[in-house]
Structure 1
Amino acid sequence: MPPTPPPSVRSSAAVDATRRAALAPPRVPALPCAALCALAFGLLLTLVVLGWGPLLSVDRALAGALHRTAVAEPGWTRLGRLLSDWLWDPWTMRAVLVAAVLLLVRRGERLLAVWVAGTALVGTGLQQVLKAVVGRERPVWPDPVDTAHYAAFPSGHAMSALVASALVLWLLRLGGARARWRRTAGAVAVVSVVGVGFTRVYLGVHWLSDVVGGWLLGGALVAAAAAAYTLFAPQEGKEGPQWAGKRS
């Protein structure tokens, strides 16, 4: 019969087990989440392309009501433009991901860095292709308060914000970040994703379905990328990245 380890050893083993559990990837069904988001996006895309009446009616009613408010409240409109065109702009979101990629490379996590960069690039390319193929017109107003380029569906701002936020949250969880940091990042992510979606409709440059389409497509992309990473990088997926738990 093997000897019973002393309490200090058992305690150390328990701590190690707890730490490994904390560093493990989130137990989120990424692949089903990706499939669900992709299915919902496909349905929404079909309704947009077919010009489904009830969807267009909701889009027009909400956009019209918010635009009238934007015209009547120039102070709030200026704030909305500042947030939407600068703080939550797709280039700002890309800058956040570039910083994350550089940090991963500095920490020696080159595969994960490539994974994040690749996901962001695929997202940008995918949204531009869909915009060109669908060719949906943006709202047109006699008194516009903001302008935007390219076609409307899906919203690039909404998709970029969700992709960047979801990737950052995934990296924090994968790296074993403290719960309070993950909660703070989660709160910032929710405010950013919901906020940019609201401002795009409020400023009259997108329909609601454009924004929802961007969220769904972004969610499908990040969930699929996370699922693929777990499959194709099993050692890092099981043990956590090399930088997990390190102190700078």
Structure 2
Amino acid sequence: MRPGRSFFALWFLLLAGFVLLSGFAAAYDRFPADLWLAHRLQDIDAVAFVRALDWAEDLADTPWIAIVWAGGIAALAVTARRWEALLLLAAVFARLLNSAAKELVDRPRPSDDLVAVGDRPASPAFPSGHADAAFVLYGLLFYFITLFVPQRGLRLLGQAACLWVILFTGMERVHVGAHWPSDVIGGYYLGGLVVAAVIAAHRLLAARRQGE
């Protein structure tokens, strides 16, 4: 299978998964395993773990996510990766998709009679905006780090940091009672759609530049 076709297939697979998950989220306030998983995660109160959750969530929230996003765009631009910088900038508009999905699904937040609620935003729960934003930004940074950072140690450090922010941001949103685990999975799915589309566009541009 050609690379373009494989990414095309991946994108539609993610889209089908997100549509299916959204349908169930609209029909059910929570999924069967959500409550059990939320309780297990909230039972973990080790100081180091909670701090790691908080730091990751900070990097997926304003103002830090805006700073990291701007820094990533600037780093790509000054190293003559202007097309990559434009693609990273374009991904900012993916935030509109999250807001639209929230309004369409209109799933309520976890209630404090089921889990400990430390953060309860006014917007609907599905899909998680923090998980979506973390997956888009740090997923794309992971991709560009893999391509453009030649030093192995620095590359691995950057990749590990991106994965930490993505995974721990999702767990933090469940840990504070702002989301069910299925809300976080929905955010990852939506973020994955954006990341796959940007990677496909980048590979297409790279192939065209090589053919010129």
Query: What is the aligned length?
Result: 207
Of 179, 183, 186, the match for 2:159: 186
Matched, 1:114 2:89: no
Matched, 1:39 2:16: yes
Matched, 1:159 2:136: no
Residue 112 (structure 1) shift: 2.1
- Separation (CA, whole Å) in 2 of partners of 1:176 and 1:78: 31
Question: TM-score, normalization: structure 1?
Answer: 0.71
Matched, 1:203 2:180: no
- Separation (CA, whole Å) in 2 of partners of 1:171 and 1:56: 35
Query: Contact (CA 8 Å) 1:90, 1:161: kept in 2 or not?
Result: no
- Separation (CA, whole Å) in 2 of partners of 1:86 and 1:51: 29
Matched, 1:101 2:76: no
Residues 90, 211 of structure 1: CA spacing in aligned structure 2 closer, same or farther, 3 A cutoff?
Answer: farther
Of 62, 65, 72, the match for 2:37: 62
Residue 206 (structure 1) shift: 0.1
- SS of match in other structure, 2:112: coil
Residues 138, 103 of structure 1: CA spacing in aligned structure 2 closer, same or farther, 3 A cutoff?
Answer: same
- Measured on the aligned residues, the alpha-carbon RMSD in Å equals 2.9
The one-letter code matched in structure 1 to 2:21 is L
Query: Contact (CA 8 Å) 2:4, 2:200: kept in 1 or not?
Result: no
* Structure 2: runs of 5 or more not aligned: none
- Separation (CA, whole Å) in 1 of partners of 2:151 and 2:15: 31
Query: Contact (CA 8 Å) 2:130, 2:169: kept in 1 or not?
Result: yes
Query: Contact (CA 8 Å) 1:77, 1:145: kept in 2 or not?
Result: no
* Structure 1: runs of 5 or more not aligned: 1-25, 240-248
Residue 75 (structure 1) shift: 5.3
Residue 235 (structure 1) shift: 4.0
- Aligned identity (percent) is 27
The one-letter code matched in structure 1 to 2:137 is A
Residue 226 (structure 1) shift: 1.0
- SS of match in other structure, 1:56: coil
Residue 221 (structure 1) shift: 1.0
Larger Rg: 1
